[in-house]
Every structure is written in structure tokens, then in C-alpha cells.
Amino acid sequence: METRKIGSLDVSVIGLGCNNFGGRIDEAATKDVVDAALDAGVNFFDTADIYGSTKSEEFLGRVLQGRRNRVILATKFGHKLDEEHQGAHPDYVKQACEDSLRRLQVDTIDLYQLHTPDKTVPIADTLGALDDLVKAGKVREIGCSNFSVEQLQEAEKAAAGAKFVSVQNEYSMFVREPEDGVLAECERQGLAFLPFFPLYSGLLTGKYREGQPLPSGTRITTESRFYSEDKLKVVEKLIGFAESRGRTILELAMGWLLTNPVVVSVIAGATKAGQVRGNAEAGSWRLSEREMSEVNAILDENLSN
């Protein structure tokens, strides 16, 4: 599989989002998904301390035993675990890192990410603590998530040592806010952009179709922010576009993102081995300029958000 750079890290262009581990699936199913990912050439695994209420990290720590060298391991801190475990204060940054290292059963985290901005702590203080972790060999690279252009610029100016090398924000054909400045800022700073919810919680996989009942056992409901009749109509048009080129909407969703070189790895979650294999196989399409224009026209003409 093609790889791209996050700082010094070579990561597969399709990554594995580990948010289902310890929540929607148990440890045995987690191992099946991890095994399938490694077999498919996926080396970039992205988790967080809050996923599965810390169980995602714990499960990964156990199922990756003996295979750590095959994985670029990313995790996050900052979201509230409980009253004592949240935020980006320097003391907590170091505590959170030690806790994640222990749960993951590793000596070093490849990419350690601030999960959400903390307005109560100067970013320079947080970056100072992260720099200490890099110097101590506990973290290789640092990144952030849910940052705006202004916050990225503030972090760039504040960094006296280690600097953010990546930003992870929501981005898909249905959520295009990063195009309003964040992607350009990533290009300017040389940051890797990592889209989460790239398949819009599954709406862009083709399993949800206009005029058909919602599949059982899935997360999307008619009350979900991801669901609307208008979006299903767009899905049908995207399916038609992809099929006219011998492709699937899954390939289109991945390829549309990866055609932009600033997008380094598309992080897609999975609950089954087959989903991982499908995601990995779908990551090879790079759309032409004309194809991108045609897809964007479909989106612009049919989506109000």
C-alpha cells in the first residue's frame, strides 16, 4: 500500500480508526480487525484514551504483542475521562502519556495528539510538556485534533521545541469545512491532514440506499445527524458516478480525499475484518482534475451544508 509522511513517520494511506474497540466490539473481534488490517498492508492505527473508556488502548496493547514493529501507533489525550483526567495542562499531559504507554504496553507512542483544544491552558505550555515527552523518547511526533486555522497558527508561533506535524479534523464529501482554510494552512505549514469520519459514519459506503430500509445493526438512524433523504439522493448520484467508471462509492469516498496530497491517511473505523479489507482495497483511486470537478459539482448542487 502507498505510504505518505506524518513528520518522520511513514504511514499507510488507509488507516485504521480504533474507536470501536472496547465499545462496539470485544477483544476477540478487535484482534480479528487488527489481523485483517496488518494483512492488508494497513500500518497506521489511530486510537484515543477515551475510546471504549480506555479499553481501546488496552485491547490494542494486548493484541499487538509481538507485532509492535509493524505498526505506526497514534493515540490522543485531552477529552474528559473523568474529573481528574482531562485537558492539556502540562502535568496532565505527562500523566496521560504514561497512562497510555501503560495501557498500550509500549515504550514509545509514534504520534501523540491533543484531542481537542483546551482554552484554559496556553498552547505554549502544552507544547512544552509534549516537547519534554519527545526529548524523553516517549513520543516520536506530536499532533492535534479539532483545531481551527487560528489555533494552528497560534501553535506554530508558540512552539519552542517539538511542533505539531498533523491535524485531525472531520472531513468527507458531506463535511467540507477544512476546505475553508485548514487544508491551505496545512499546506503552508507542511502539516499532515488526517480526516476522521471520512465515510460519514458509513453513509458513503453504499450500504444505505434511497428507498430502502436502514440496515439492521448499524449506527445511523433516521434521527442521526448523518441521515437525511437529501443526502441519500446525493449518495445515489455518487454511486452512479463511481459505477460509470467501474468503481464503487467507497473507492470514490477514499479517492476523493486522497487525491489531495495534504491528506496523508484516511482513518476509517471497522467492526469486522471484511470492512478493513474493503477499506484497504478502496484506497488506490486518484481522481483526475475533471473527475474532481464533476464530483464537486454534484455535491455543490445538491447539498446545502
Residues tagged active-site = 51
Taking the C-alpha atoms of residue 84 and residue 87, their distance in angstroms, rounded to an integer, is: 9
For 10, what's the count of Cα atoms within 13 Å in the CB-facing half-sphere?
A: 6
Residue with cell 453504499: 206
Close Cβ partners of 230 (under 8 Å, ≥ 6 residues apart):
302, 303, 304
For 74-109, the DSSP string reads EEEE-S-SBTTB-S--HHHHHHHHHHHHHHHT-S-E
Taking the C-alpha atoms of residue 174 and residue 228, their distance in angstroms, rounded to an integer, is: 12
Question: Quick one: cell of 1?
Answer: 500500500
